[in-house]
Structure formats: structure tokens, C-alpha cells
């Protein structure tokens, strides 16, 4: 990982185009991984303010133009634990804790995951209602297949952002024409449901100014994505996706650029009460800020984070060094160069060549 100990030479150039026809206006998109507000986090929030789970990351969260997380729980006062078949964990947070998302100014959430139905259909229905009331757009789950697979849109600074969210977890939760559930898509390009997802992307590519695909895919653990995820992610981009936002592994994974588009294979965990695996270190992650100029990413900032006591904080000192060095190695496997910016206290991936399949470093 390259290091910049001086002033941020890149900051003034973010959002500036070197390619003819690329917009010069800049848009900052902020992504964080799994946010689980149930169990002990829910108990803490009985007395703590809604800002508590975000810790000292809140100023960064609030300062971006648009924010997205994977909501790894159901927010509801209704329902009973899923019992149609054995399930080890059930995550639910009180309906009032929609204020936690509002405190971070969260614009959108991905609901396509293996916990959205932890308390059954009634809880999911209430969550959809409270999200709508809070003005938070959501994708990946709904009252039926049409809602679950529908493009969720946001207007930001005169631009229209689209979110499609799917999961290959919990096939029994697949939404149908008359049953609530998730947008279930196996990561197998020969499956008709994958074909349908690609068709939806192609159909909506020109409907929005920017298209983000959220993928809650694969099993837990592992710093390296399965080869099948790479093949699938590349197909999503070829169909028209601009950003792939992957999660489910509970640990962060490297970032690849394919045809100039970023693929976050695993965003890691951002807020939860989980036991810490001392090898996989599921308590370590990042805030990912992607700077866009039109549809072209001009840079990514990664702020290292730690989960402690049901809330998240910015990593400092040796913790920050260890987390960012790990990510630098994972990114290097995809030929993605990184550097540490001492001034901003974050890792950076700078400048992209939209005509190439790899990052172009001008550091």
C-alpha cells in the first residue's frame, strides 16, 4: 500500500473528468455493510440515544450525499421467531429504532438477506411501513415478487439513483406473486432467476443515472470471494450495473474494478453484538465512500472501523494500520492499488481508467 504523509494531493481532483463527455459534478456515495440492530443492540437502545450505534463515525456518515447499508435485522414490534424450520439466530429491533437509521441520514437499505423474515411476515410488513414513513427507500424484499425485485430509486442533487437488491440465501423465503419475501437469485448464470435479474438491470440501466446492485451472497467467513461471485459480478456489470455492493461474509473482502466499475465483494459487518472471531475479525470493517463523476468512479475512500460494545468507532493507531494493510493485500490480488492518506486518516483507491479493466494509479 502506497502512503501519502503530506497534503491530500487527490482531494482537489476528485470529480474532475479527464475523459471527454464525462460529467464534472461530483457525488459521494457512502456504503456500509451489515447493520444488525437487534438483540443486545436493541437492549442498549432502550436507554441510549439513536445516535449511539454509530459512535464517532456519525460525522462521516452524515456528510455524504447518499448512504446505503445492508439492514441485517427486521425493525418491528410484531411477529414471532421464524419456526417453519430451525434457525440459529433471530434478529429484531423495536420499531422506534427506525430513528437509528434516520440519525445516520440513511437514504436506502438493502433488505435482501437471511434475517428480514426472522419474525415472520407481519414483522416484515410493519418494517416496510416504518421505512416508508421515514422516507428510507428499500430494495430486495416486499409483499410479493414484484415488490421484492423492483428497482428502488432516490433523487440526489438532481440525479436519479437506482438500487436493486438480491440474495442467494434462504431460498424458502423467495417472494412469489402472492407471498411476501426476498428477491432470491442463485449466483448461477444458467439459472432462469439470474437471467431475470440481468434483464431487469438492462431494462433499468437507462432509467436511472446510476445503478447499484446489492448482493447478499455466499456463506459466512472467508476473505476471498468464490470464483463464481467474480463471474456473476462481471455479468452484472456487463448488463449495466455501475456498482456492486456485496455482503454476507461478515468480513471485508478486496475491491475489484471491472470495466471501470467497482465491485465490493464483501463490505463486512458495521454494527452488531456478535462474538468476535479472533482469526476472521468480524469486528473490523470500513466506511466506503465512492466519489462519482456521472457514471464514472473517480476515487474511493475507506475509513477503517471497529465494533465495540454494540457501537462502531473509527479505528486508530495500530488497529487502523492492521485493518488497512489487510485490505491493501486483498485489493492487490485484483490489481487494485491503494494508499494511506494520513491527513484524512483513511485508505484511498485513486483515479480510474473507464476504458480499462483495472485501476490506473497516478500516485
How much is the pLDDT for 350? 78
Q: Which residues of 16-37 are buried (b: 16+ CB within 10 A; e: fewer)?
A: ebeeeeeeeebbbbbbbbbbbb
How much is the pLDDT for 222? 77
Please tell me whether the overall predicted TM-score, pTM, comes out greater than 0.75 for this model. yes
The full 3-state SS of 316-350, as one line of letters, equals CHHHHHHHHHHHHHHHHCCCCCCEEECCCCEEEEE
CA distance 345 to 67: 20
Cell triple for 241: 450495473
Using CB atoms within 10 Å of the CB of residue 302, give its burial: 0 to 12 exposed, 13 to 18 middle, 19+ buried: buried
How much is the pLDDT for 352? 54
Q: Tell me how many degrees the CA angle 245-249-253 measures, rounded to the nearest 5.
A: 60
How much is the pLDDT for 23? 43
SS3 for 170? coil
Nearest to 255 by CA among 218, 223, 231, 221: 223
pLDDT 10s digits, 96-139: 999 999 999 999 999 999 999 999 999 999 999 999 999 999 99
Q: Which domains does the chain have, with CATH numbers?
A: 32-350 (3.60.21)
CA distance 329 to 83: 42
How much is the pLDDT for 15? 32
pLDDT 10s digits, 226-263: 999 999 999 999 999 999 999 999 999 999 999 999 99
CA distance 234 to 296: 16
With a cut of 50, list the residues of the chain below it in pLDDT: 2-24, 354, 359-363
Amino acid at each position: 500500500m502506497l502512503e501519502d504523509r503530506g497534503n491530500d494531493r487527490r482531494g482537489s481532483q476528485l470529480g474532475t473528468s479527464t475523459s471527454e463527455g464525462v460529467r464534472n459534478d461530483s457525488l459521494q456515495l457512502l456504503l456500509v455493510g451489515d447493520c444488525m440492530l437487534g438483540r443486545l443492540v436493541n437492549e442498549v437502545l432502550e436507554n441510549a440515544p439513536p445516535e449511539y450505534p454509530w459512535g464517532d463515525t456519525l460525522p462521516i456518515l452524515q456528510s455524504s450525499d447518499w448512504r446505503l447499508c445492508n439492514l441485517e435485522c427486521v425493525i418491528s414490534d410484531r411477529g414471532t421467531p421464524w419456526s417453519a424450520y430451525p434457525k440459529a439466530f433471530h434478529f429484531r429491533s423495536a420499531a422506534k429504532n427506525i430513528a437509528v437509521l434516520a440519525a445516520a441520514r440513511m437514504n436506502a437499505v438493502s433488505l435482501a438477506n437471511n434475517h428480514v423474515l426472522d419474525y415472520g411476515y407481519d414483522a416484515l410488513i410493519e418494517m416496510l411501513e416504518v421505512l416508508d414513513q421515514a422516507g428510507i427507500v428499500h430494495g430486495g424484499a416486499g409483499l410479493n415478487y414484484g415488490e421484492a425485485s423492483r428497482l428502488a430509486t432516490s433523487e440526489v442533487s438532481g440525479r436519479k439513483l437506482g438500487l436493486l437488491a438480491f440474495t442467494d440465501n434462504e431460498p424458502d423465503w423467495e417472494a412469489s406473486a402472492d407471498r411476501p419475501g426476498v428477491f432470491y437469485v442463485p449466483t448461477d448464470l444458467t439459472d432462469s432467476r439470474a437471467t431475470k435479474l440481468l434483464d431487469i438491470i438492462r431494462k433499468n440501466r437507462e432509467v436511472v443515472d446510476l445503478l447499484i446492485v446489492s448482493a447478499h451472497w455466499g456463506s459466512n467467513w472467508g476473505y476471498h470471494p468464490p470464483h463464481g461471485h467474480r463471474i456473476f459480478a462481471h455479468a452484472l456489470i456487463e448488463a449495466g450495473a455501475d456498482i456492486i455492493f456485496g455482503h454476507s461474509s461478515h468480513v471485508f473482502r478486496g475491491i475489484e474494478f471491472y470495466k471501470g466499475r467497482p465491485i465490493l465483494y464483501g463490505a463486512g459487518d458495521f454494527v452488531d453484538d456478535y462474538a468476535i472471531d479472533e482469526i476472521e475479525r468480524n469486528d473490523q470493517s470500513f466506511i466506503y465512500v465512492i466519489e462519482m463523476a456521472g457514471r464514472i468512479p473517480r476515487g474511493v475512500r475507506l475509513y477503517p472501523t471497529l465494533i465495540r460494545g454494540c457501537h462502531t468507532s473509527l479505528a486508530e493507531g495500530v488497529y487502523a494500520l492492521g485493518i488497512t494493510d489487510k485490505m491493501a493485500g486483498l485489493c492487490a490480488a485484483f490489481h487494485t492499488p491503494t494508499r494511506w492518506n494520513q491527513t484524512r486518516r483513511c485508505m484511498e483507491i485513486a483515479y480510474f481508467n473507464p476504458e480499462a479493466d483495472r485501476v490506473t494509479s497516478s500516485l
